[in-house]
Structure 1
C-alpha cells in the first residue's frame, strides 16, 4: 500500500498498469478512508458485489457506490481505490450482465460494463473540475489530487473498452465521438469519454453477500 496526500491508496500512483482487483481490496486500508457517509469500511463489500452472479445485487452495489464515493459528483479519499478496482474489472465477463436498473436515465437493459465506463468518466470529470483555475472544488484537501494521480490508469482501462466490439451484440462498434470543444479530462485523450452521472435506484435485494473474487 502506498500513501498519496495522506490518503492510503493501493498501488503506485504513477504506474499506469492496471492493478489486480484482489490487491486493491486486500492492500487498501479502507477503514482509514472516507466516503460521503463516514468510514469506508463497507466499500470493499460493495465493490465485490459488482461481480455477483445476480444482476439485482450488482445494480444495488453500483447504487451504493455511487451514493457513497461519488455522492453528488463529489470526491472522497475512498474514491481513487474504488475507481481503480472498477477499472480493473472491466474485462471480467460478469460485467456483461444486463439489467434495466443500472441507470435511472435509461431504462433499457444495459450491460454493467457500459455503466461502469460512464461512472469512471464521471470520476475523471469531477477530478478535472477546478484543475486549471483557482475555483475551489469543495472536496477535502488532497482528494482531487489523489484521483488525478490515478487518472492515467483509469484512462488505460477505459480507452481499451471504448472502441471494443460489444460481446453482447453482432453490431459493429460505434465510431469515435466527434471532437469535443471541452478540455479533455483524460491525459492524452483528444475527446472526452462518457461522463454521465449514474443515479441508480433499484430495490435492495435480500440476502446480499459479497462474492469471492476470482
Structure 2
C-alpha cells in the first residue's frame, strides 16, 4: 500500500472532484478520521460517506480516498470508538472503514457493471470506476489482513470488504480459500446484511450456502442498524445491497 501521508501529499486534490465540487477539502476530512476527539472523527467518517462516496457514487476523489483509508487500517488509532446511531455498524472506526471499502468495491463489481450497461453506462466508460477497479488488489490485501481478527465486528467487516473485491480477475482464485470464512463468519452473523452477503457470495461462487438464513421479507429490509443505503426495498434478495447506477 502507498504510504497514507504520501497519498495525501502527492494527490492533486484540486484537480479532482467529489459530490460537492473540488476535492481540496478532502485531505482535511481524511486526517480527521484519526483525530483524538471522537466527535471530530465521527464527523469525518460521515463525510467520507456523504461527500466522497455520496449516494454510493464513485467520484474522482473516491479513488485516492480508498487508498488512504486502506493504508491507515493498521494504525492503532483505528481501534478508537466512533459515535453510533441506528444506522451505524457495531464496532470501532476500523470496522467502519472496512465497511466503507466494501461499499466502494460493491459499485465496481461485475454485477454493478451489468446493471450499468443495461442503462447505457458501462463502467469502462467512467474513468473513476476504471481507476477503482485497478486498485482492487491493493484494497483486497489491506482488508485480508483482518479476516481472522480477534474482534468479531472487524472480522466480519473485513470479509465483507473482500467479497466484492474478488471480482477482480487477479483475485478470482482466492474465492475458494475465503469461502469457508464467508460461510462460518458472515453466514452466522447477528446482522442479516452479512448473512445475506454470505448467501449471495457463496451462490455466485458455486459454493454451498445451504442452511444459512438471510432476511427474505422485503418489508423488513430497512429495520436494521445499517445505513438506509444498504436497504433493498422489494429487491431480489440475491441482487446485492446497493442502489442502481449512481451516475
TM-score (norm 1): 0.69
Change (3 A) 1:146 1:197: farther
Q: Distance in 1 between matches of 2:159 and 2:35?
A: 32
CA contact (8 A) 1:66 1:198 kept: no
Match of 1:94 in 2: 77
Match of 1:156 in 2: 141
User: Which string of whole-angstrom CA distances, capped at 9 and with x for unpartnered residues, describes residues 95-134 of structure 1?
Assistant: 0011342x642475x2100011011011100122533563
For structure 2, the residue ranges without an aligned partner over 5 or more in a row are 187-193, 198-224, 230-247
Q: Quick check: which one's strand share is greater?
A: 1
Q: Quick check: which one's helix share is greater?
A: 2
Larger of the two Rg values belongs to structure: 2
Q: How many residues get paired?
A: 174
Match of 2:12 in 1: 29
Which structure has more RCO (C-alpha within 8 Å, separation ≥ 6)? Answer: 1
Match of 2:190 in 1: none
- Correspondence 1:115 to 2:100: no
Match of 2:113 in 1: 131
RMSD: 3.5
- Correspondence 1:105 to 2:70: no
Change (3 A) 1:177 1:97: closer
For structure 1, the residue ranges without an aligned partner over 5 or more in a row are 1-17, 201-214
Change (3 A) 1:142 1:100: same
How far is the alpha carbon of 1:164 from its aligned partner?
1.9
Match of 2:191 in 1: none
Secondary structure, counterpart of 2:131 in structure 1? helix
Change (3 A) 1:122 1:49: same
Change (3 A) 1:61 1:182: closer
TM-score (norm 2): 0.60
How far is the alpha carbon of 1:139 from its aligned partner?
10
Change (3 A) 1:177 1:69: closer
